[in-house]
Amino acid sequence: MTKHQISAALITFNEESNIARTLEKLSWCDEIVIVDSYSTDSTVDICKTFGAKVFFKKFEGYGEQKRFLVEQCKNDWILSIDADEVLTDQLISEIQNEFSKETLPYKAYYLNRKHVYLGKVFKYGYLKNTPILRLFNANFANFSSKKVHETIEFKGKKGRFKNTFFHYTADSVEQINYKKNRYATLVSEEYFNKNKRVNLLVLLFKYPLAFFKEYFIRGNILNGYEGYVWSTYIAEYSVLKYLKLRERNKNAKS
């Protein structure tokens, strides 16, 4: 127990292969709150074995799902973790020490995320240690309403912990393609609602430029085969979301 109670908050959908590994490292929190998008596997049953409070909501975008999640938490402090992310013991101890203080110096904290891709921990480039705002006081901060790539919005001064947590991004090429298609669909819908258009000349250069930036400039060339696959994924995604947008625009006119 800490002086400032924390709600661990997660959204889930068919995460039976990941969720137990994640929840095992959240038992120290004062409560675990799950918002599930009507999973068809054993995700919910696994969550309940860890004493989690489970709520259900139809998925309408990551931002809205997580804003609803925050509303279900009883504590002001929210630790937002995805179902494929796992805290390290070192990070847990660091958070507990901070939250044992009578007064906290910040209203939001960055956690350092370490990328794990196709079973490999990335040791080079920006993905080896990426600061992500994940621990915050809900009286002062909350998630944006973006359908994908949602962020926690807070304008004040933020703290940052030194230790890391692991993000098990994808375990197979099939999972990579599933995520790429899912995210591209959601982003194209968001672009469509904002009346965004596709510039075919710009699109022509998106793939090579995105790959060059991710592979060479951001250092993933040093992460071996997995770094190459990740860079390819980023480049393909940068194009796919616009191809889907063009398709939406075309269908809207017909």
Instruction: Please give the Cα distance from 111 to 87 (Å, whole number).
Output: 10
User: Tokens for 53?
Assistant: 């409070």
Calculate Rg over the CA atoms of the chain: 19
User: pLDDT tens for residues 88-128?
Assistant: 999 999 999 999 999 999 999 999 999 999 999 999 999 99
Q: Which residues of 66-102 are buried (b: 16+ CB within 10 A; e: fewer)?
A: bbebbebbebebbbbbbbbbbbeeebbebbeebbeee
User: pLDDT tens for residues 40-71?
Assistant: 999 999 999 999 999 999 999 999 999 999 99
DSSP 143: E
Angle in degrees, CA 32, 34, 37, rounded to 5 = 170
Predicted local confidence at residue 153, as pLDDT: 97
CATH dotted code for 6-170: 3.90.550.10
Domain ranges of the chain: 6-170, 173-253
User: pLDDT tens for residues 125-152?
Assistant: 999 999 999 999 999 999 999 999 999 9
